Structure 1
Amino acid sequence: MQGLRNRSTTLIHINRLPSECISQIFTMGSSPRPMDEEDPTSDDPSWNSPVKPFRLIIPAVCRRWRDIALNTPRLWSTIEFSDAAPFGYSELMLKRSRDCPLSIRVDFSRPKSEITTVLHLLRRYTSNRHISLTIVYTSPEEAGIALAGQVSLGRTSRKLRS
């Protein structure tokens, strides 16, 4: 049965391409639009849309695509901390993105303990990486926490929104 499955996989034309080409296709297919706090199609896994983000669909197609997707760091380099604490999904994406430059969005209207967790994760995984960091806040206190947290993150391209 496994032999038949492997043979049928090679009959699909895209699977004749080298892994590097498929990886590039995956990256192009998942290229994010500029992040917008009003965008309901964000990568928030708790969002109840039947449409899942491209980067979550392709690893489920077949074993080869899963291996390629999990070994394509750029596929995981746009991260929105929209999952619930302790941010397992976001941390997994930080790990999978390896040493790629990151585009990160953090909503600082969360409880202070959650923000501390986010900043800890960012420090752990981004110490020597380029980061484009978008911080959304609604109060001066949140802005202060955001700015204090950025100081300890090192080099970042900063964008604050209220």
Structure 2
Amino acid sequence: MNARDRIRTGDATTPRGKGVKLIAHVCNDLGGWGKGFVQAISRRWPGPEAEYRRWHRERAGNDFGLGAVQYVQVGPYLWVANMVGQRGTRTGSKGVPVRYEAIDTALGVLAEKAAELEASVHMPRIGCGLAGGNWSRVEPLIARRLTGRGIPVTVYDHQG
């Protein structure tokens, strides 16, 4: 991924371009939804939050966990991908919440869905906000899993 070519100023909840789009973001493994980029998602669509909370609540009978991805269709050509890529929500004795291995796994799963839908992928700098990750570690994962497979990716830096 050549970051300079694919990073735009804007809002990842209003992705640019034509065709099917997947908005990808990182969630925690506690079922909590309330801070960061998820607030922008919830302001636009109630479905992704409701489905994430249900997915977590019913986790004994599904695939919820680090590295898992849940897709919620929010428009005819628009999906939100809830990717579980952080352990907990706070920095503590075990470090920051981001789990790069889980993000890598989730991006691999996301790549399959993007290829199936012939979709472009749109995201904020996943794992680098409240999760505490470093873009220099996340960007190569995106390059390997998505752009390296020919899947168009746009990363949005929000102003404001």
Q: Do the structures match in fold with TM over 0.5?
A: no
Max radius of gyration: which structure?
Answer: 1
What TM-score comes out, normalization by structure 2 length?
Answer: 0.38
Q: Point out the structure with the larger helix share.
A: 1
Q: Point out the structure with the larger strand share.
A: 2
Question: RCO higher in 1 or 2 (8 Å CA, sep ≥ 6)?
Answer: 2
